[in-house]
Amino acid sequence: MIQKNIVVNFQEYKSIDDLDNLDKELVEKAIVAGSNAYSPYSNFHVGAAAKLGNGNIICGNNQENAAYPSGLCAERTALFYANANFPDQKIESLVILGEKNGEALKDIVPPCGACRQVIWESQNRQKSPIRIILASKNKVMIFDDINQLLPFSFDDSLLK
């Protein structure tokens, strides 16, 4: 047996206030998006904001459905909208956060496995990294790309 390690590189900030103005704007838009989430079953609001290469900011939020698992996570809602409506624009950054009563939650809300795979596919499709920002009231983590959160992704080479 050979023991191997995976190293995850990211930047950590103590607060949203420590971010530059563009990242703060993305976080604020994700908070607003989260406040509009449709989550009558879990009452767990998640917002996402994606900055595109043309400067547009696309927002998404979680959308629940009584027929589980027919709902959709915030980050997939934003990414699918961006890819459907702006297919030639690269997604530069993606903020994900939990929200309650118009404020970021105190803890980070990381993307689920399905969302990580969709972010990876979007990044692979555009052939450039998508910066991932996980924001909360008490901490912000910034990853240079999705590979830091999904080191063993499922890709098209496995389909051949």
The pTM (predicted TM-score) of the whole model is 0.94
What are the φ/ψ torsions at residue 120 (nearest 5 degrees)?
Answer: -60, -45
Active site amino acids: 75
Taking the C-alpha atoms of residue 27 and residue 21, their distance in angstroms, rounded to an integer, is: 10
Q: Which residue type does 97 have?
A: L
Mind listing the domains of the chain with CATH numbers? 11-71+81-110+128-137 (3.40.140.10)
Report pLDDT for 77. Answer: 98
Taking the C-alpha atoms of residue 31 and residue 131, their distance in angstroms, rounded to an integer, is: 18
Residue 97's closest CA among 124, 59, 65, 54?
59
What counts of helices (H) and strands (E) characterise the chain? Answer: 3, 7
Report pLDDT for 152. Answer: 87
Q: What is the mean pLDDT of residues 92-99?
A: 97
Q: Are 66 and 75 in contact (CB under 8 A)?
A: no
Q: Are 82 and 57 in contact (CB under 8 A)?
A: no
pLDDT band, very low/low/confident/very high, at 159 (cuts 50, 70, 90): confident
Strand 11-13 to strand 103-104: parallel, antiparallel, or no bridges (unpaired)?
A: unpaired
Is 160 a residue whose pLDDT tops 90? no
- For the segment 48-92, what is each residue's pLDDT rounded down to a tens digit? 999 999 999 999 999 999 998 899 999 999 999 999 999 999 999
Report pLDDT for 157. Answer: 83
Taking the C-alpha atoms of residue 46 and residue 139, their distance in angstroms, rounded to an integer, is: 16
